[in-house]
Amino acid sequence: MSGAKLSYVFRKKRYAVMAAILDGVGNTLLRPPRRTSLEKIAPKKILIVRLDHLGDILQATALPQVLKENFPDAEVHFLTNGTGEMLLRGNPYVDRVWVSNPSWYKRSHSKSLQGPKLSETVHQLRGEHFELALAPRGDLRENHLLWRTRTKIRVGYGITGGGFFLTHLVPYAHGAHESRHTLDLLHALGIRPVPLKPKLYWPPDEEEILRRRLKDKGFFGDGWVGMQVGAGTAAKEWPLENLEKLLKTLDVRMPGVKIVFLGDQDERARRLDNALRPFSGKGWLNLVGRTGLRELFYLLKSLRCFIGPDSGPAHVAASYAVPTLFLFSGTNVFDEWRSTAESAHFLRHDVPCSPCRLTECPVEGHPCMSGIEARDAAAWLEGRLDDF
């Protein structure tokens, strides 16, 4: 089945044409990948690669446990970026985390994250002699990276080209939820489908340190509502004008609510300070730009509930079973990218230009996000905080 036609996930036809040409050349020079399962393998050393964004890496944190349970004698290594390292820290199913921060996926929150050059990391990985490597994203650059590590069995997708860098190409289920693609990789290894439940781990000594740090910043006690200001891309941000309307509504209808604001330090953070001035006596806590990632992850699990865009922190909160309201933009296909956590709830405003898959909205007024009404977010919050 090595000659089966591949379909790509690019929006622009010229990118698909370029990928097809690349694959044609690559399949001529290298042996085409197989599309067979690997049900009888027993690897002693496994590498997982996930170098992209917080929410995507979070889902992959469930993989090491599944692999360890099915290959108990294997070492499991994970190549990720600085954000992923913080998600995986303390994970008992990961024998080693390798960190590199390639420029491909960098966003504002990752600019300060440093790590060895990718070329240096690849050289070190080559010396580990991995027997199995998994690349759930299907990215050309990650497929090439696996090939450079000289791992014996390389399993993944060819949806952006470069499938010829793999030894085993898994059929891609277009239109399926993102978690399905990870499960299909496991199925190719002979692993029965299992619920993938992301989980973060906290050594007791670190918990105490983080608890103390957050208390020093004013976050202590129970009943806090978390609100994220900003998002991974501008196209996913809820306008501050809508947030201000929500705060005015809560001030009248839920005067006892405790709110902590979270996010990156940027222009929106400064504008938030201005928006909060009329509520200076409320005791609301502005921690935008004032928490490290591990502090943020730990804070999220302590919340009563959380409101934020479809971004990493909301997915982390939902993974803790914290009731989470996703303010879902029109950038992605909802049924493919929504959180599947039972604690996840959604507000959306349908627009004809969705899904655009853009990082910045070119439409005046950013209707897919500005159309999410503050009163609807307030009604959801009231339903979960009936004692205020």
- In the predicted model, what is the mean pLDDT of residues 297-307? 96
> What is the per-residue pLDDT for 1?
34
Using 50, 70 and 90 to split pLDDT, how confident is the model at 112?
very low
Check whether 61 has a pLDDT greater than 70.
Answer: yes
Mean pLDDT of all residues in 211-234: 93
| pLDDT greater than 60 at residue 115 | no
Please give the Cα distance from 378 to 56 (Å, whole number).
28
pLDDT of 35: 61
Give percent above pLDDT 90 in the chain: 70
Can you count the helices (H) and strands (E) in the chain?
Answer: 15, 12
Check residues 388 and 39 and name the one with the higher pLDDT: 39
Contact yes or no for 288/272 (Cβ under 8 A): yes
Kindly calculate the radius of gyration of the chain based on its CA atoms and give it in whole angstroms: 22
Half-sphere exposure of 297 (CA within 13 A, CB side): 22
Residue type, 182: T
**For position 108, what pLDDT does the model report?**
45
Going by DSSP bridges, is the β-strand pair 132-135/96-99 parallel, antiparallel, or unpaired? unpaired
pLDDT range class, residue 114, cuts 50, 70, 90: low
Q: What is the pLDDT of residue 90?
A: 94
Three-state DSSP state, 159:
coil
CB 88 within 8 A of CB 63: no
**Separation in Å, CA 78 to CA 57, 112, 155:** 11, 21, 15
Q: How confident is the model at residue 107 (pLDDT cuts 50, 70, 90)?
A: low
Mean pLDDT throughout 309-323? 94
pLDDT value for 2: 39
Per the CB < 8 A criterion, the answer to whether 262 and 292 are in contact is no
Q: Name the 3-class secondary structure at 2.
A: coil
The pLDDT, as a whole number, for residue 4 is 44
CB atoms inside a 10 Å sphere around CB 233: 18
Domain locations along the chain? 13-188, 204-384
Per-residue model confidence (pLDDT) at position 273: 81
Residues in the chain: 388
Does position 267 have pLDDT exceeding 70, yes or no? no
Phi and psi dihedrals of 304, rounded to 5?
-75, -40
Contact 348, 370 (CB under 8 A): no
Q: What is the pLDDT of residue 3?
A: 40
Q: Do 13-188 and 204-384 fold alike per CATH?
A: yes
Q: Is the per-residue pLDDT at 158 higher than 90?
A: yes
Q: What's the CATH fold of domain 13-188?
A: Rossmann fold (3.40.50)
Residue 308's H or E segment, with its range, is strand 305-309
Whether the predicted pLDDT of 109 surpasses 50: no
Pairing of strands 75-80, 324-328: unpaired
Provide the pLDDT confidence category of residue 105 given band limits of 50, 70 and 90: low
Average pLDDT over residues 53-77: 94
User: Lowest-pLDDT range, 177-186, 218-227, 267-276, 296-305?
Assistant: 267-276
**What integer best gives the mean pLDDT of the chain?**
89
CATH topology of domain 204-384: Rossmann fold (3.40.50)
Tell whether the model's pLDDT for residue 86 goes beyond 90: yes
Stretch 39-55: mean pLDDT: 91
Q: Say if residues 166 and 154 touch (Cβ distance below 8 Å).
A: yes
Six-digit token string for 86: 């913080």
110, pLDDT greater than 60: no
Per cent of the chain over pLDDT 70 is: 93
**Identity (one letter) of the amino acid at 181?**
H
Supply 339's token pair: 């959180």
